[in-house]
Amino acid sequence: MIVKYALIFSAFLTLLCSYRAIKGPETADRVVALDSISTNIISLGILYAIHTQRPVFINVSLMLAITGFIATVATSLYLREGELIK
Amino acid sequence: MKEILIVIGLFFLSIGTLGLLKLSNTLERMHATSEATTLGVGFIVLAGVVDFYPNGIYLSAILVLVFLFITAPTGAHMIARATYIQDRGKEKSNNLSSIEDFV
Protein backbone atom coordinates (compact mmCIF):
# COMPACT_ATOMS: atom_id res chain seq x y z
CA MET A 1 0.00 0.00 0.00
CA ILE A 2 2.75 2.41 0.92
CA VAL A 3 4.63 1.44 -2.24
CA LYS A 4 1.79 2.80 -4.38
CA TYR A 5 1.88 6.20 -2.68
CA ALA A 6 5.67 6.15 -2.89
CA LEU A 7 5.36 5.64 -6.65
CA ILE A 8 3.02 8.62 -6.94
CA PHE A 9 5.24 10.81 -4.77
CA SER A 10 8.41 9.88 -6.62
CA ALA A 11 6.76 10.62 -9.97
CA PHE A 12 5.72 14.01 -8.59
CA LEU A 13 9.32 14.69 -7.54
CA THR A 14 10.51 13.79 -11.05
CA LEU A 15 7.99 16.23 -12.46
CA LEU A 16 9.33 18.94 -10.14
CA CYS A 17 12.86 18.28 -11.40
CA SER A 18 11.72 18.99 -14.94
CA TYR A 19 11.00 22.58 -13.88
CA ARG A 20 14.73 23.20 -13.53
CA ALA A 21 15.39 21.40 -16.82
CA ILE A 22 13.05 23.78 -18.64
CA LYS A 23 13.69 27.01 -16.76
CA GLY A 24 17.33 26.69 -15.74
CA PRO A 25 19.34 29.78 -16.66
CA GLU A 26 22.42 27.95 -17.93
CA THR A 27 23.07 24.73 -19.78
CA ALA A 28 24.81 23.18 -16.77
CA ASP A 29 21.61 23.57 -14.74
CA ARG A 30 19.75 21.60 -17.36
CA VAL A 31 22.41 18.89 -17.32
CA VAL A 32 22.13 18.67 -13.52
CA ALA A 33 18.35 18.49 -13.73
CA LEU A 34 18.42 15.73 -16.36
CA ASP A 35 20.91 13.77 -14.26
CA SER A 36 18.60 14.11 -11.28
CA ILE A 37 15.63 12.99 -13.41
CA SER A 38 17.47 9.86 -14.52
CA THR A 39 18.41 9.11 -10.92
CA ASN A 40 14.76 9.50 -9.93
CA ILE A 41 13.64 7.13 -12.68
CA ILE A 42 16.02 4.50 -11.27
CA SER A 43 14.06 4.70 -8.02
CA LEU A 44 10.80 4.56 -9.99
CA GLY A 45 11.90 1.32 -11.63
CA ILE A 46 12.78 -0.27 -8.31
CA LEU A 47 9.49 0.88 -6.75
CA TYR A 48 7.51 -0.46 -9.72
CA ALA A 49 9.28 -3.81 -9.42
CA ILE A 50 8.32 -3.94 -5.74
CA HIS A 51 4.75 -2.83 -6.45
CA THR A 52 3.98 -5.38 -9.15
CA GLN A 53 6.25 -8.12 -7.67
CA ARG A 54 7.84 -8.59 -11.09
CA PRO A 55 11.61 -8.42 -10.67
CA VAL A 56 12.25 -7.87 -14.39
CA PHE A 57 11.97 -4.12 -13.89
CA ILE A 58 15.17 -4.01 -11.85
CA ASN A 59 17.02 -4.50 -15.14
CA VAL A 60 15.42 -1.27 -16.36
CA SER A 61 17.04 0.53 -13.44
CA LEU A 62 20.38 -1.14 -14.16
CA MET A 63 20.36 -0.02 -17.79
CA LEU A 64 19.29 3.49 -16.84
CA ALA A 65 22.10 3.77 -14.29
CA ILE A 66 24.59 3.13 -17.10
CA THR A 67 23.04 5.23 -19.88
CA GLY A 68 22.32 8.18 -17.61
CA PHE A 69 26.00 8.30 -16.67
CA ILE A 70 27.02 8.18 -20.33
CA ALA A 71 24.62 11.01 -21.16
CA THR A 72 25.94 13.17 -18.30
CA VAL A 73 29.58 12.61 -19.26
CA ALA A 74 28.91 13.32 -22.94
CA THR A 75 27.03 16.52 -22.22
CA SER A 76 29.62 17.83 -19.78
CA LEU A 77 32.38 17.04 -22.27
CA TYR A 78 30.45 19.00 -24.87
CA LEU A 79 30.15 21.91 -22.44
CA ARG A 80 33.85 21.89 -21.74
CA GLU A 81 35.35 21.25 -25.15
CA GLY A 82 32.68 22.65 -27.42
CA GLU A 83 32.71 19.53 -29.60
CA LEU A 84 32.37 15.82 -29.06
CA ILE A 85 34.01 14.10 -32.02
CA LYS A 86 37.26 15.56 -33.20
CA MET B 1 11.37 -3.27 6.96
CA LYS B 2 11.06 -2.31 3.32
CA GLU B 3 8.46 0.36 4.15
CA ILE B 4 10.91 2.07 6.52
CA LEU B 5 13.63 2.01 3.87
CA ILE B 6 11.26 3.41 1.24
CA VAL B 7 10.17 6.26 3.52
CA ILE B 8 13.80 7.18 4.33
CA GLY B 9 14.66 7.08 0.62
CA LEU B 10 11.74 9.31 -0.30
CA PHE B 11 12.79 11.77 2.41
CA PHE B 12 16.26 12.13 0.91
CA LEU B 13 14.86 12.28 -2.63
CA SER B 14 12.59 15.16 -1.68
CA ILE B 15 15.48 16.97 0.00
CA GLY B 16 17.52 16.65 -3.21
CA THR B 17 14.66 17.90 -5.36
CA LEU B 18 14.01 20.86 -3.06
CA GLY B 19 17.71 21.72 -3.24
CA LEU B 20 17.57 21.53 -7.02
CA LEU B 21 14.62 23.88 -7.11
CA LYS B 22 15.46 26.40 -4.41
CA LEU B 23 19.23 26.92 -4.32
CA SER B 24 20.69 29.85 -6.17
CA ASN B 25 23.91 28.71 -7.84
CA THR B 26 24.76 25.99 -10.32
CA LEU B 27 27.40 24.44 -8.08
CA GLU B 28 25.07 24.49 -5.06
CA ARG B 29 22.32 22.81 -7.04
CA MET B 30 24.73 20.17 -8.29
CA HIS B 31 25.89 19.56 -4.73
CA ALA B 32 22.33 19.05 -3.46
CA THR B 33 21.31 16.61 -6.18
CA SER B 34 24.51 14.61 -6.27
CA GLU B 35 24.58 13.91 -2.55
CA ALA B 36 20.98 13.65 -1.39
CA THR B 37 19.43 12.06 -4.45
CA THR B 38 22.07 9.34 -4.60
CA LEU B 39 21.50 8.52 -0.93
CA GLY B 40 17.73 8.38 -1.40
CA VAL B 41 17.95 6.08 -4.41
CA GLY B 42 20.41 3.95 -2.45
CA PHE B 43 17.85 3.44 0.31
CA ILE B 44 15.13 2.58 -2.20
CA VAL B 45 17.41 0.05 -3.91
CA LEU B 46 18.09 -1.46 -0.48
CA ALA B 47 14.32 -1.80 -0.06
CA GLY B 48 14.27 -3.71 -3.34
CA VAL B 49 17.09 -5.95 -2.11
CA VAL B 50 15.17 -6.68 1.10
CA ASP B 51 11.96 -7.37 -0.80
CA PHE B 52 13.40 -9.72 -3.42
CA TYR B 53 15.91 -11.42 -1.15
CA PRO B 54 15.33 -15.16 -1.77
CA ASN B 55 15.02 -14.52 -5.49
CA GLY B 56 18.32 -14.27 -7.32
CA ILE B 57 17.45 -10.87 -8.81
CA TYR B 58 18.54 -9.08 -5.64
CA LEU B 59 22.13 -9.40 -6.89
CA SER B 60 21.08 -7.26 -9.86
CA ALA B 61 19.72 -4.65 -7.44
CA ILE B 62 23.04 -4.64 -5.60
CA LEU B 63 24.68 -4.10 -8.99
CA VAL B 64 22.44 -1.04 -9.51
CA LEU B 65 23.70 0.28 -6.17
CA VAL B 66 27.35 -0.29 -7.08
CA PHE B 67 26.94 1.40 -10.47
CA LEU B 68 25.11 4.33 -8.91
CA PHE B 69 27.76 4.89 -6.25
CA ILE B 70 30.51 4.78 -8.88
CA THR B 71 28.87 6.89 -11.58
CA ALA B 72 27.07 9.63 -9.62
CA PRO B 73 30.20 11.30 -8.10
CA THR B 74 32.02 10.99 -11.41
CA GLY B 75 29.24 12.70 -13.32
CA ALA B 76 28.93 15.41 -10.67
CA HIS B 77 32.68 16.02 -10.81
CA MET B 78 32.58 16.38 -14.59
CA ILE B 79 29.65 18.80 -14.51
CA ALA B 80 31.36 20.87 -11.79
CA ARG B 81 34.58 21.04 -13.74
CA ALA B 82 32.81 22.06 -16.95
CA THR B 83 30.89 24.75 -15.05
CA TYR B 84 34.03 26.09 -13.42
CA ILE B 85 35.95 26.21 -16.69
CA GLN B 86 33.05 27.99 -18.35
CA ASP B 87 32.67 30.56 -15.55
CA ARG B 88 36.37 31.24 -15.12
CA GLY B 89 36.45 34.25 -17.43
CA LYS B 90 33.32 35.88 -16.05
CA GLU B 91 33.19 38.42 -13.29
CA LYS B 92 30.61 36.70 -11.15
CA SER B 93 32.74 33.71 -10.17
CA ASN B 94 33.44 34.48 -6.54
CA ASN B 95 35.72 32.78 -4.03
CA LEU B 96 36.65 30.11 -6.52
CA SER B 97 40.20 31.19 -7.24
CA SER B 98 41.52 29.00 -4.42
CA ILE B 99 40.72 25.84 -6.38
CA GLU B 100 42.58 27.01 -9.46
CA ASP B 101 45.41 24.56 -8.88
CA PHE B 102 43.16 21.52 -8.81
CA VAL B 103 41.27 21.99 -12.06
* pLDDT in the model for residue A48: 92
Q: Report if residue A23 sits inside a domain.
A: yes
What are the respective helix, strand and coil percentages of chain B, to the nearest 5? 80, 0, 20
Q: Report if residue A56 sits inside a domain.
A: yes
B41:A32 CB<8 A: no
Number of structural domains found in chain B: 1
Whole-angstrom distance, CA of residue A27 vs CA of residue B11? 28
ipTM above 0.90, yes or no: no
**Domain limits at A40?**
2-81
* pLDDT in the model for residue A68: 87
Q: Report if residue A86 sits inside a domain.
A: no
Report, as ranges of residue numbers, the positions in chain A whose pLDDT lies below 50. none
* pLDDT in the model for residue B10: 92
Binding-face residues of B in 41-100 toward A, CB within 8 A: 41, 44-45, 47-48, 51-52, 55, 57, 60-61, 63-64, 67-68, 71-72, 74-76, 78-79, 81-83, 85-86
Query: How do residues B60-96 score in pLDDT, each as one tens digit?
Result: 889 999 988 998 889 888 888 888 887 776 655 556 6
